A = this chain, B = another copy of it.
Amino acid sequence: MNKAILLISCPDKKGIVAKVSNFLYTNNGNIEDADQHIDSQTNTFFMRIEWLLKGFKIPQADIAASFKKIADEFNMNWSIHYSSDIPRMAIFVSRFTHCLYDLLLRYREGQFNCTLPMIISNHKDAKPIAKNFNIPFYCFPKIKQNKLGVEKKEIDILKKEKIGTIVLARYTQIFSANFVREFPNRIINIHHSFLPAFIGSNPYKQAYRRGVKIIGATSHYVTEELDAGPIIEQDTVRVSHRDRLEDLRRKGEDLEKVVLSRAVRLHLERKVLVYNNKTVLFD
């Protein structure tokens, strides 16, 4: 059954909920799920509302135009999505394939509401996996000197295939600001540490050296500043002096898989709103 999902953020003001819910009610909308949040510090109102389109009086094509009046009245940042528009997602991967495998298995089990038209890598290692799951595989090797040129090719194919969401499943290359700007709040990364601790490369080694008693993983949207984008999900696991570097890696990889998949799922279900470089999660 086709549904609409409306995401709103705006300055908090009297009457927002009344206006939005009346809009749905008077048009015979059947609310399936609704969640709201008020950030009292910044006086900002956030809302996610999901309703069935069956029986809704306004045709799907006209909903956005109809809602615009309310949106303008309250100065809303807003977007509307339809469950019939299945998101198209691309996975980028390098040599470590545990997150890729995990995403593909969950995809096959139906955990992600999306199609997966491509896997892109700077290495060939993941090619047989892509083949096994029948996903087209593109290999774009990168070195410093050709980075911008290769990124242009990547952008071209991503746009041609109408990719809306990019998942970096332990992709080791850092994108240029230009690439990032093409996909604002649409590139989901997994960083193998509890950010903001251990930014950059080799976080497990950094954690091992520092002698932490807990390690973590962080999934966040990619912004121009390295490992500093809005955090979607994090989790941690206990380690001890008995754990060698390779044990940290093994324990951490279990976290990475779970944390990344939760973030991807929240994103695909339109449950993430970015605000002030933070996320509001309607979970």
Contacts and interface: CB of A to CB of B under 8 A. Distances in A.
Interface in A227-275: 230-236, 238, 240-242, 244-245, 250, 254, 258
B210 A231 contact: yes
Contacts of A39: 241
Contact of A240 (B31, B211, B281): B281
22 contacts: A15-B25, A17-B25, A22-B22, A34-B36, A34-B38, A35-B36, A98-B109, A101-B105, A194-B197, A195-B212, A196-B212, A197-B197, A210-B231, A211-B231, A211-B276, A211-B277, A213-B232, A213-B234, A214-B216, A238-B238, A241-B279, A242-B283
- Which of A32, A132, A213 has most chain B Cβ within 10 Å? A213
Contacts of A105: 98, 101
A116 interface: no
Contacts of A31: 14, 17, 38
Interface in A180-212: 194-198, 210-212
A18 interface: yes
Given A98-B109, A278-B241, A25 B35 contact: no
Interface residues of A, number: 64
Contacts of A245: 41
Given A18-B25, A111-B250, 17 more contacts: A14-B25, A14-B28, A17-B21, A22-B22, A33-B38, A35-B36, A98-B105, A194-B214, A194-B236, A196-B198, A196-B210, A210-B231, A211-B231, A212-B234, A213-B231, A216-B236, A236-B236
Contact of A241 (B22, B109, B210, B280): B280
A258 B212 CA distance: 17
A40 interface: yes
Main secondary structure of the interface of A (DSSP, over half): mixed
A258 B250 CA distance: 11
A24 interface: yes
